[in-house]
């Protein structure tokens, strides 16, 4: 059985300026899956830098209120929303609430720096 606690994952600032903690990565363990899973935080009033991934991504919003942008579309998101981001789509999210915007990021296949383009 494998269990990893969020508090044991080091924080870092991602290329798009979100506060991230990587929970799982297909290439960093003896796992039988392809994806990576990260926990993200965007502080109130902050916005991530527009970026594209070669792979698909899903955000699952845990807490807060955001404005999600994918290519030319935008929509409000909040706790309980799942957002699918297609490969090569320009994406960014703005925290439009008064508390931290907290969400999970699932990238399939697993995130790699060379697959991300910060615009």
Phi-psi region of 113 (alpha: psi -120 to 50; beta: other; left: phi over 0): alpha
CA 11, CA 24: separation in Å to the nearest integer? 14
Render pLDDT for 61-91 as a digit per residue (tens, 0 to 9): 999 999 999 999 999 999 999 999 999 999 9
Stated pTM of the model: 0.95
Q: What SS3 state is found at 7?
A: helix
Give me the CATH code for the 13-99 domain, please: 2.60.120.10
Mean pLDDT value across residues 96-106: 98
Q: Where are the domains of the chain?
A: 13-99
């Amino acid at each position: 059985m494998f269990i990893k606690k969020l508090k044991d994952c080091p924080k870092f600032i991602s290329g798009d300026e979100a506060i991230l903690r990587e929970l799982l990565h297909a290439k960093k363990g003896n796992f039988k899956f392809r994806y990576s899973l990260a926990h993200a935080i965007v502080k109130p009033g902050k916005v991530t830098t527009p970026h594209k991934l070669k792979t698909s991504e899903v955000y699952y919003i845990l807490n807060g209120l955001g404005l999600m942008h994918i290519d030319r579309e935008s929509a409000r998101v909040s706790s309980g929303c799942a957002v699918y981001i297609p490969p090569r789509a320009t994406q960014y999210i703005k925290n439009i609430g008064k508390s931290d915007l907290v969400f999970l990021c699932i990238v399939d296949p697993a995130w790699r720096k060379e697959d991300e383009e910060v615009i």
